[in-house]
Amino acid sequence: MALSDRIKDARKNKHYTQKQLAELMNVKSTTISGWELGRNEPSIDSLKKLAQKLDVSFDYLAGIDEQSNNGTPLTWEDLGMPYGGKIPEDLKETYADIAKGYFKRHPEMLNKD
């Protein structure tokens, strides 16, 4: 599947219009249209941001991985976290504090569904 198709499919799976995705990405809707039509391709940074906004992996958009995560939230293990993705009890509060601090600085990253 082409990059353009992956972007379009991921956008539709999130039920975003091109305009909504453009607003999330801080680009013009014609930019999204161009990506989906294969007229141009997003930069690496834009691909990273697309993956984040569309809840798919960068590898999926880039064509490295054939499957998206289909909107399934990433796990700690998916993110390459230590301890096999299972946080030890004595570290849970520390990780929670880190996450809270991150989301205070980046409220746009909170799930708005």
pLDDT in tens, 49-63: 999 999 888 888 888
What CATH number is associated with residue 31?
Answer: 1.10.260.40
In the predicted structure, residue 103 carries a pLDDT above the cut 90: no
Residue 28, pLDDT score: 96
For residue 41, tell me if it sits in a domain.
Answer: yes
Q: What's the average model confidence in pLDDT over 62-69?
A: 69
pLDDT in tens, 71-86: 555 666 666 677 766 7
- Alpha carbons 42 and 64: distance in angstroms, whole number: 16
The DSSP code for 23 is H
Q: Nearest-CA neighbor of 72 among 106, 111, 16?
A: 111
Residue 113 pLDDT class (50, 70, 90 cuts)? very low
Residues 108 and 58 reside in one and the same domain = no
For residue 49, tell me if it sits in a domain.
Answer: yes
Residues 11 and 57 reside in one and the same domain = yes
The DSSP code for 78 is T
Residue 31 pLDDT class (50, 70, 90 cuts)? very high
Residue 16 pLDDT class (50, 70, 90 cuts)? very high
For 111, left (φ over 0), alpha (ψ -120 to 50), or beta? Answer: beta
In the predicted structure, residue 87 carries a pLDDT above the cut 50: yes
Residues 92 and 53 reside in one and the same domain = no
Domain region containing 86: 75-113
pLDDT > 90 fraction of the chain, expressed in percent and rounded: 44
Residue 72, pLDDT score: 56
For residue 42, tell me if it sits in a domain.
Answer: yes
- Alpha carbons 54 and 35: distance in angstroms, whole number: 14
For residue 25, tell me if it sits in a domain.
Answer: yes
Classify residue 74 by burial, with Cβ atoms within 10 Å: 0-12, 13-18, 19+. Answer: exposed
CB 16 within 8 A of CB 71: no
